[in-house]
């Protein structure tokens, strides 16, 4: 589903390094920098989400949430899409992401295989990769900008004709800023590494979102998505949609995207459902009781 950024020198240095030409060696520098910076704000860990906060998902926009799930919680996000590229038509699902809060401000997430089915035309069908990742919420930072860092690897378990060859690491920085009257800005910067792909070993993705909360339970958004490969032309999308929270821990969503150039899909239409289970596994708490909430 990401501002006047007023971030500390530590985060600004990390982002400056990330936004330049990135190699695997530079990736090895970025991650320790984030860990060191995080240790300096450990006292603010109680500002990360708790079980009293409403669900915040990584869908239906491309831009992921800038915050982690509460410690001890499991969040399950699902969706399906219908898309078109030229004369080809595709259905993909379920787009399932599991997110678990494993420590203060730290989340483990994994994208399960999604099946892409060609329903019209000569397009390929097959499964996507299994993609585990770690997400560390760096915020709060000066200026009330929520910021997280994500490092994941798409494991070579899917169909090569769908996802390409070999393992594919990625480094990601989602951010968000709440404005007045229910308005918000957010975005995300991602570097995808494809070491086994001779055509394009690096793809940079940038997103930007304007969001408006229209009721206590409903929000709408408009999003720009641009993929910029190291070699070749960009693919750009305009995506819009909304979410409705059935309960503080349950959400339904929809989105519609239109391609802005020939390299992007002609259109994408999708729907989804997400749920969070709190206190699902033991964590340090003042009360010894464990309750399952949804």
Residue by residue, DSSP assigns 231-255 as SS--EEEEEEEEEEEEETTEEEEEE
- Write down the pLDDT at residue 10: 39
Mean pLDDT check: name the lowest of 38-42, 75-79, 151-155, 235-239. Answer: 38-42
- Write down the pLDDT at residue 194: 93
Average pLDDT of the segment spanning 252-266: 97
pLDDT band, residue 8 (cuts 50/70/90): very low
Global pTM value: 0.81
- Contact in structure between 220 and 241 (CB atoms under 8 Å): yes
- Write down the pLDDT at residue 29: 45
- Write down the pLDDT at residue 168: 96
- Write down the pLDDT at residue 139: 78
- Distance separating alpha carbons of residues 160 and 259, to the nearest angstrom: 24
3-state secondary structure of 276: strand
pLDDT at 5 over 60: no
pLDDT at 169 over 70: yes
pLDDT tens, residue by residue, 96-117: 999 999 999 999 999 999 999 9
- Write down the pLDDT at residue 142: 54
pLDDT tens, residue by residue, 128-167: 999 999 999 997 655 578 999 999 999 999 999 999 999 9
Average pLDDT of the segment spanning 266-272: 98
- Contact in structure between 248 and 68 (CB atoms under 8 Å): no
- Write down the pLDDT at residue 199: 78
| Those residues with Cβ within 8 angstroms of residue 66's Cβ, 6 or more apart along the chain or in another chain | 2, 137, 139, 146, 147, 148, 174, 175, 176, 186
pLDDT at 171 over 60: yes
- Write down the pLDDT at residue 141: 58
Chain mean pLDDT for the chain: 84
More confident residue, 95 or 293: 95
pLDDT at 232 over 80: yes
Average pLDDT of the segment spanning 205-234: 96
pLDDT at 197 over 90: no
More confident residue, 8 or 155: 155
Q: Among 14, 284, 1, which Cα is nearest to 141's? A: 14
- Distance separating alpha carbons of residues 227 and 167, to the nearest angstrom: 19
Q: Which helix (H) or strand (E) holds 18?
A: helix 9-19
- Write down the pLDDT at residue 218: 98
Beta strand 267-277 with 74-85 is: antiparallel
pLDDT at 119 over 60: yes
Q: Is the dihedral of CA 127, 128, 130, 135 positive or negative?
A: negative
pLDDT tens, residue by residue, 17-56: 334 444 444 444 444 444 444 444 443 444 789 999 999 9
């Amino acid at each position: 589903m990401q501002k006047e950024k007023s971030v500390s020198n530590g985060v600004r240095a990390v982002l400056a390094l990330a936004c330049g030409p990135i190699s695997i060696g530079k990736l090895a520098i970025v991650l320790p920098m984030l860990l060191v910076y995080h240790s300096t704000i450990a006292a603010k860990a109680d500002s990360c989400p708790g079980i009293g906060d409403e669900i915040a998902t990584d869908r239906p926009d491309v831009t992921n949430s800038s915050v982690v799930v509460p410690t001890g919680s499991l969040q399950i996000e699902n969706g399906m899409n219908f898309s078109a590229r030229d004369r080809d038509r595709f259905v993909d699902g379920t787009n399932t992401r599991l997110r678990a809060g494993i420590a203060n401000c730290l989340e483990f997430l994994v994208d399960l295989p999604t099946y892409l089915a060609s329903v019209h035309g000569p397009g390929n069908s097959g499964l996507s990769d299994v993609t585990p990742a770690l997400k560390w919420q760096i915020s709060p930072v000066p200026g009330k900008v929520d910021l997280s860092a994500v490092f994941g690897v798409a494991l070579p378990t899917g169909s090569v004709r769908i996802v390409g060859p070999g393992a594919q690491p990625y480094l990601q920085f989602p951010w968000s800023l709440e404005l007045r009257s229910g308005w918000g800005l957010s975005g995300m910067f991602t570097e995808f590494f494809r070491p086994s792909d001779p055509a394009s070993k690096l793809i940079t993705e940038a997103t930007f979102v304007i969001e408006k909360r229209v009721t206590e339970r409903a929000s709408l958004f408009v999003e720009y998505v641009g993929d910029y490969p190291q070699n070749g032309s960009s693919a750009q999308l305009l995506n819009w949609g909304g979410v409705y929270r059935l309960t503080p821990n349950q959400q339904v969503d929809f989105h519609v995207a239109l391609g802005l150039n020939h390299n992007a899909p002609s259109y994408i239409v999708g729907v989804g459902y997400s749920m969070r289970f709190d206190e699902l596994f033991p964590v340090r708490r003042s009360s010894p009781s464990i309750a399952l909430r949804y």
